[in-house]
């Protein structure tokens, strides 16, 4: 995970701890299926993150899209840009705002259409990612897993209304299935 070097990052850590404490208290009070506090905490965290967006010296560009997606580009590649029918060889990890890792792919070929089917933020961010790009995105719940979250057999892996944080690196892009080459 890439961290801003700026001192203001301490403020984000304090906010994260407060949000996590609120969620623990809510769950401890028997509100296991009421995710309203979690939703409010995630919205507040994403809003607070705007103040530190792009503050790291290693960031080439940062922006906030009209849909609320926050992005920090650490390296902009110069290769081909993925299209909907493309295959991308990538590495990515995804976290919740409390630091819990919920997703990870290490150097694997994936179809762009499969990525878009899981979370709609991929449709928005992939045009910003030519081959060789490395970036971090802060994904509002509306572009992530939304009110459904994701579940394993016994519990939520990603709670409903979760803001997601992804570190992504596009290593290669192919217009043909790499397994046929």
Q: What is the CATH number of domain 58-180?
A: 3.10.50.40
Give the pLDDT score at 41. 86
Average pLDDT over residues 134-161: 78
Give me the mean pLDDT over the 78-89 stretch.
Answer: 91
Instruction: For residues 107 and 126, give the distance between their C-alpha atoms in angstroms, rounded to a whole number.
Output: 17
Strand partners, 80: none
Alpha carbon 25 to its chain centroid, in Å, reads 25
- State mean pLDDT over 147-163: 70
Contact (CB, 8 A) for 101 and 95? yes
Give this prediction's pTM.
0.78
pLDDT single digits (tens) 143-153:
888 777 666 54
Residue 5 has pLDDT above 60, yes or no: no
Better-predicted residue by pLDDT, 67 or 178:
67
Q: Are 144 and 169 in contact (CB under 8 A)?
A: no
Q: What is the mean pLDDT of the chain?
A: 80
Q: Is 8 exposed, middle or buried (0-12, 13-18, 19+ CB in 10 A)?
A: exposed
Closest CA to 169 of 147, 137, 145: 137
* pLDDT value for 7: 42
Please state, in angstroms and rounded to a whole number, the distance separating the CA atoms of residues 113 and 86: 8
Is residue 45 within a helix (H) or strand (E), and if so which, with residue range? Answer: helix 36-49
Three-class DSSP category at 84: coil
Q: How confident is the model at residue 120 (pLDDT cuts 50, 70, 90)?
A: confident
Is the model's pLDDT at 2 over the cut of 50? no
Please say if the pLDDT value at position 165 is more than 80: yes
- pLDDT recorded at residue 131: 94
3-state helix/strand/coil string of 32-82:
CCCCHHHHHHHHHHHHHHHHHCCCCCCCCEEEECCCCCEEEEEECCCCCCC
Tell me what the mean pLDDT of segment 117-137 comes to: 90
Predicted confidence at residue 52, as pLDDT, reads 84
**Tens-digit pLDDT profile for residues 13-56:** 556 556 665 555 554 444 446 677 888 888 888 999 988 888 88
Cα gap 84→33, rounded to integer Å: 36
* Phi, psi dihedrals of residue 50, rounded to the nearest 5°: -55, -35
Q: Are 89 and 107 in contact (CB under 8 A)?
A: yes
Handedness of CA 5, 8, 12, 13 (dihedral sign): positive
Three-class DSSP category at 116: helix
């Amino acid at each position: 995970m890439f961290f801003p070097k700026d001192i203001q990052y301490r403020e984000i850590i304090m906010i994260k701890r407060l949000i996590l404490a609120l969620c623990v208290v809510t769950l401890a009070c028997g509100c296991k299926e009421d995710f309203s506090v979690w939703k409010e905490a995630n919205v507040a965290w994403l809003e607070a993150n705007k103040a530190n967006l792009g503050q790291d010296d290693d960031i080439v560009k940062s922006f906030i899209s009209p849909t609320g997606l926050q992005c920090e580009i650490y390296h902009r590649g110069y290769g081909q840009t993925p299209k909907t029918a493309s295959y991308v060889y990538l590495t990515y990890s995804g976290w919740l705002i409390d630091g819990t890792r919920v997703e990870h792919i290490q150097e694997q070929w994936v179809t762009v259409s499969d990525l878009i089917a899981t979370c709609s933020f991929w449709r928005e961010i992939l045009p910003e990612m030519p081959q060789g790009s490395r970036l971090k995105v802060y994904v509002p719940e509306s572009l992530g897993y939304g009110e459904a979250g994701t579940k394993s057999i016994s519990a939520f892996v990603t709670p409903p209304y979760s803001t997601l944080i992804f570190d992504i690196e596009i290593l290669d892009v192919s217009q043909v299935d790499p397994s046929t080459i």
